[in-house]
Chains A and B, each alone.
Chain A
Amino acid sequence: MTSDERAARCAARCATRRMIPRAVSTLVLLSCATVAACTTSPFGYPSPQPGSSTRAPSGSARPPEAEPAPRSNASAALLEQGREARAAGRYAEATASLERALRIDPNNPLLWIELAEIKAADGDRSQAREMARKALTLAAGNPAIESRARRLL
């Protein structure tokens, strides 16, 4: 499968995902928009299936029973919190949220690159670089993460 085919398939899958609660959908959409290989979520676990996730009460992000996605709900929620704090310029708080997410999901390159970008926004060039390097070592075969990381190196 070429990367174009992957992207096309990716787009098709993404279009069906509108019902997914926000925390998870943000992640999935983001990963689909940027990651060519979209057969797994950025957390390395199978992506939640759109149909089943609508069973969860609104505002929550419960994965379908058939495909348990350990850890991803919690770190997705924390990533979302971190993004909100970062958008408001509260970098220390954003950092704390991302560090919490990494405690749950330490090998997730997306979390590392987001943390690197918070550091960059906060003016800490050297930590931005180191964390981008960390993301790179974990992002083998994930061109989106790789290109975001290279921008910080």
Chain B
Amino acid sequence: MKKRLLVYVLLAIPVAALGYGAWVWGRIAREFDDRHWNIPAEVFASPLELYEGRRLSADDLTRELRRLGYGPVSGRIGPGLFRRDGNTIEVHRRAFTYDGGAFPEQVLHIELGGGRIAALEDGDGSSLPIAELEPMLIGHLFPSHGEDRIILGPDEVPQLLTESLKAVEDRRFDRHWGIDARAMLRAAIANVRAGDITQGGSTLTMQLVRSYFLSNRQTYTRKIREALMALVLELRHSKDEIMLAYVNEIYLGQNGARAVHGFGLASRFYFGKPLAELDVHEIALLVAIVRGPSFYDPRRNPERALARRTLVLELMRDAGLIDAATFASNKDRELGVVTVESRRAAYYPAFMDLVRRQLRRDYDDEDLAQRGLKVYTTLEPMTQAAAEQALVGELERLQSAPGRPELEGAVVVTNPHNAEVRALVGGKRTGFDGFNRALDARRQIGSLVKPAVHLAALEMGRYSLATQIDDVPVTLELDDGRTWSPRNFEDEANGQVTAVRALAESLNLATVNLGLEIGLERVARTLERLGVEPRRPLYPSLLLGAIELTPYEVAELYTTIANGGFRTPLKAVRAVVDGRGRTLRRYALEIEQVASPESIYELNQGLVQVMRRGTGAPAGRLLPAGLTTAGKTGTSDGLRDSWFAGFSADHLVVAWIGNDGNASIGLTGGSGALQVWARIIGSVETSSYDLPPPAGAERVHIDYRTGLSTDPTCPDAVELAMPASAVPPKAVTCGSTNTRIGSRIREWIRNRLQ
């Protein structure tokens, strides 16, 4: 009996070992061979397109190149380097892929002048119609746990790195079977002598297994599994494959809550440039960090990191990887680690949040985390930087007023032509992944609604912006018996005013009277066409903006107005490409005409007057001279929200300022958000609002106060566009000045003849 039990036990041991071996084998086959490790989707900004005539200054281009990790040199340029000579910039652009297309490395010769690109040539002096810089990597879409990495292919890993890793971490890597007994023994002896763990003795294979499969707990069973798995890995894979996996997998630092894995990402994290461009001392520093990313953190413990880097350089020299001269020239170099601030500048949590939300419509989290997707977005780092600076700076300034509750803000910048989101700021702590006010702060829009009221009137054909409307007090009895008596901000009624003046000066009484005249239902339907759903039943307070929208929704509404009445959902993602470079999905431009182009054009001429004569005029001092813009202020009840929405030809900016607890902030749209808006428009390269008039619109000059046709030379003349049938009769006088009779008669005859 006892004998049989012994036989069973003796048999069971190899069976169990075999079973365990098979399990390890299977697990490695399943997880490692499939390369099914988590490769979070890489997210890229919009590439900077270069072409003759593009608005761009030499300073902006220099900043953009630095953001992309290009280094300035005075001598010969190579990939990743640029040379600036006054207004001429020569860049050796790196090779990259974009949206499935491959772009080889290329020398670009860019001449700038007058705020534009004057000439663009390649290295041979042939002119190029268009060229692009590689898009900036702005982040990764993560699964729930915080890991970050950039996966490198075999040709992207410098040999000096792999050879140095062997020299420092695992000298017999090319010969052992995953386990190096001699090294382990030597390490054990050294540790006993030192009374502390100074040497690991783990092979690169074991380090890889530990990082990839095992938890960080130090136990005996773990050590055995580690060795067994290393052995299996070596049996199944070549040394090159194991080395590549190691380079992509190993833990090299901590970026806030995100673990930095792999040398590709570590190179970006520490030096702000790709691995292939690292100098000898930089490679040595990364190899030094492997041993203890926290202990040898070059930012927090620079002396320790420097000492270990010197040791690594010595080992590299002793192994014959670098010569004595190279050693000497590199050992005294500075660590060269980029500051955390410059890295934080490239962290756009609010925009990434938007990207994630837009992708979630088509992909689940698993897909985004595990398929190695590349996501090409619309973000413009330059515009984003301008928006962040403007909001943060302006909030700081406004906050200094005594007794003001804590201010917060949000900014959305779009390209009104195609509804692409150029920049998005979700709050004053721009690097903080918190409440995204641009997408989630739903606030009363106040007078931002007024253009919709005027548009509804204009589309009827009976009204123009020259029409006189009553800016007189009104009291309404609501369904529940309460009364409502709106007032103008300045608290005085102006009698008869032109519609253009009512819009420009944001007169509440005139707007309410106009809205009641054309009917709430008509206004609501116009809003619905523009993509805003007012709550029903409708109340007259809708006419003064008692409707809650997020800054993002306001940007969508105004983008439709700015681009001539074509509605387009805002877009943050252009294309998604899979791990093999195939385009999975393009988010093509889609438009829908939702308003009459003539009416929208006329409305926009009115919004230009907001900036010239009305509530937007204070922006003038912050804008370049001669820049035509259009926009509208918004102030909610009790001064709780300060809004401004406005646009030039190619930038639409919505700015909001308020308090998270909805307290009164004592700011109007003009004294708060307008300042942020103007700073942004003033600092991006942009052109005057210039939508060409549609066929049915006739340009006329009317008197701002009387609404009669007038001469362009009259002081109160404003240029509008309206259907010929709506052109008002000619004024007898030019305000108080007499108009020249001759021109008036000519004008009258011309009008009659048409």
Chains A and B form a bound pair: yes
**Which residues does A use to contact B, with CB under 8 Å?**
23, 56-57, 59-63, 68-74, 76-78, 92, 95-96, 99-100, 102-104, 106-107, 115, 127, 130-131, 133-134, 136-138, 140-141
Are the C-beta atoms of B53 and A56 separated by less than 8 Å? Answer: no
Option from B128, B566, B586 in Cβ contact (under 8 Å) with A134: B566
Using a CB-CB cutoff of 8 Å, which residues 91-113 of chain B contact chain A? 99
Using a CB-CB cutoff of 8 Å, which residues 395-440 of chain B contact chain A? 415, 417-418, 420
Are the C-beta atoms of B692 and A74 separated by less than 8 Å? Answer: no
Are the C-beta atoms of B126 and A70 separated by less than 8 Å? Answer: no
Chain B residues lying within 8 Å of A60, measured Cβ to Cβ, are: 126-129
Are the C-beta atoms of B591 and A102 separated by less than 8 Å? Answer: no
Residue of A56, A78, A106 with most partner-chain B CB within 10 A: A106
Option from A56, A70, A106 in Cβ contact (under 8 Å) with B418: A106
B473 at the interface (CB under 8 A from A): no
Option from B130, B588, B691, B694 in Cβ contact (under 8 Å) with A77: B130
Chain B residues lying within 8 Å of A59, measured Cβ to Cβ, are: 126
Are the C-beta atoms of A138 and B588 separated by less than 8 Å? Answer: no
State the CA gap A115–B590 with chains docked (Å).
Answer: 11
Chain B residues lying within 8 Å of A140, measured Cβ to Cβ, are: 692-695
Are the C-beta atoms of A103 and B127 separated by less than 8 Å? Answer: no
Are the C-beta atoms of A107 and B418 separated by less than 8 Å? Answer: no
State the CA gap A100–B418 with chains docked (Å).
Answer: 10
- Per DSSP, chain A at the interface is helix
Name the residue on A nearest B592 (C-beta): A130
CB proximity of A139 to chain B, nearest CB, Å: 8
The 7 closest A-B pairs by CB, nearest first: A70-B53, A74-B51, A106-B417, A77-B129, A60-B127, A74-B130, A137-B597
B52 at the interface (CB under 8 A from A): yes
B49 at the interface (CB under 8 A from A): yes
Using a CB-CB cutoff of 8 Å, which residues 588-634 of chain B contact chain A? 588-593, 597
Name the residue on B nearest A127 (C-beta): B590
B525 at the interface (CB under 8 A from A): no
Are the C-beta atoms of B130 and A92 separated by less than 8 Å? Answer: no
Are the C-beta atoms of A61 and B129 separated by less than 8 Å? Answer: yes
Contact A73-B129, Cβ < 8 Å, known A103-B415, A107-B690, A140-B692: yes
Option from B418, B566, B588, B650 in Cβ contact (under 8 Å) with A130: B566
Between-chain CB contacts (< 8 Å), 27 pairs? A56-B127, A60-B129, A62-B119, A68-B53, A69-B53, A71-B52, A71-B54, A73-B53, A73-B130, A74-B49, A74-B52, A74-B54, A77-B130, A92-B586, A95-B586, A99-B418, A102-B418, A104-B49, A104-B130, A106-B418, A107-B691, A107-B692, A130-B590, A133-B566, A134-B591, A137-B564, A141-B695
Are the C-beta atoms of B586 and A96 separated by less than 8 Å? Answer: yes
CB proximity of A71 to chain B, nearest CB, Å: 5
Chain A residues lying within 8 Å of B496, measured Cβ to Cβ, are: none
Option from B588, B592, B597 in Cβ contact (under 8 Å) with A99: B588
Name the residue on B nearest A146 (C-beta): B695
Chain A residues lying within 8 Å of B583, measured Cβ to Cβ, are: 92
Are the C-beta atoms of B586 and A74 separated by less than 8 Å? Answer: no
Are the C-beta atoms of A138 and B418 separated by less than 8 Å? Answer: no
State the CA gap A96–B52 with chains docked (Å).
Answer: 20
Chain B residues lying within 8 Å of A137, measured Cβ to Cβ, are: 564, 597, 694
Chain B residues lying within 8 Å of A69, measured Cβ to Cβ, are: 53
Are the C-beta atoms of A23 and B53 separated by less than 8 Å? Answer: no
Contact A134-B695, Cβ < 8 Å, known A57-B126, A99-B418: no
Chain A residues lying within 8 Å of B417, measured Cβ to Cβ, are: 102-103, 106-107
**Which residues does B use to contact A, with CB under 8 Å?**
49, 51-54, 99, 116, 119, 125-130, 415, 417-418, 420, 564, 566, 575, 583, 586, 588-593, 597, 649-650, 690-695
CB proximity of A51 to chain B, nearest CB, Å: 17
Chain A residues lying within 8 Å of B695, measured Cβ to Cβ, are: 136, 140-141
Name the residue on B nearest A107 (C-beta): B692
Known: A71-B52, A103-B415. 20 other contacts (CB 8 A): A61-B127, A70-B52, A71-B54, A72-B53, A73-B52, A73-B53, A73-B129, A74-B51, A74-B52, A78-B130, A92-B588, A96-B575, A96-B586, A99-B588, A102-B589, A103-B418, A130-B591, A130-B592, A131-B591, A133-B593
State the CA gap A138–B489 with chains docked (Å).
Answer: 38
Contact A73-B51, Cβ < 8 Å, known A57-B127, A107-B691: yes
Name the residue on A nearest B129 (C-beta): A77
Chain A residues lying within 8 Å of B590, measured Cβ to Cβ, are: 127, 130
CB proximity of A108 to chain B, nearest CB, Å: 10
Name the residue on A nearest B420 (C-beta): A103
Chain A residues lying within 8 Å of B420, measured Cβ to Cβ, are: 103
Are the C-beta atoms of A74 and B129 separated by less than 8 Å? Answer: yes
Are the C-beta atoms of B588 and A103 separated by less than 8 Å? Answer: no
CB proximity of B5 to chain A, nearest CB, Å: 71
Are the C-beta atoms of A57 and B125 separated by less than 8 Å? Answer: yes
CB proximity of A46 to chain B, nearest CB, Å: 13
Are the C-beta atoms of A127 and B116 separated by less than 8 Å? Answer: no
Name the residue on A nearest B415 (C-beta): A103
Chain A residues lying within 8 Å of B591, measured Cβ to Cβ, are: 127, 130-131, 134
Name the residue on A nearest B575 (C-beta): A96
State the CA gap A101–B126 with chains docked (Å).
Answer: 21
Chain A residues lying within 8 Å of B128, measured Cβ to Cβ, are: 60
Are the C-beta atoms of B129 and A76 separated by less than 8 Å? Answer: yes
CB proximity of A81 to chain B, nearest CB, Å: 10
State the CA gap A78–B583 with chains docked (Å).
Answer: 19
CB proximity of A131 to chain B, nearest CB, Å: 7
CB proximity of A83 to chain B, nearest CB, Å: 14
Chain A residues lying within 8 Å of B588, measured Cβ to Cβ, are: 92, 95-96, 99
Chain A residues lying within 8 Å of B415, measured Cβ to Cβ, are: 103
Name the residue on A nearest B690 (C-beta): A107
CB proximity of A121 to chain B, nearest CB, Å: 14
CB proximity of B49 to chain A, nearest CB, Å: 7
Name the residue on B nearest A63 (C-beta): B52
Are the C-beta atoms of A130 and B586 separated by less than 8 Å? Answer: no
Chain A residues lying within 8 Å of B690, measured Cβ to Cβ, are: 107
Chain A residues lying within 8 Å of B130, measured Cβ to Cβ, are: 73-74, 77-78, 104
CB proximity of A50 to chain B, nearest CB, Å: 17
CB proximity of A151 to chain B, nearest CB, Å: 17
Chain A residues lying within 8 Å of B575, measured Cβ to Cβ, are: 96
Are the C-beta atoms of A138 and B51 separated by less than 8 Å? Answer: no
State the CA gap A109–B544 with chains docked (Å).
Answer: 37
CB proximity of B116 to chain A, nearest CB, Å: 7
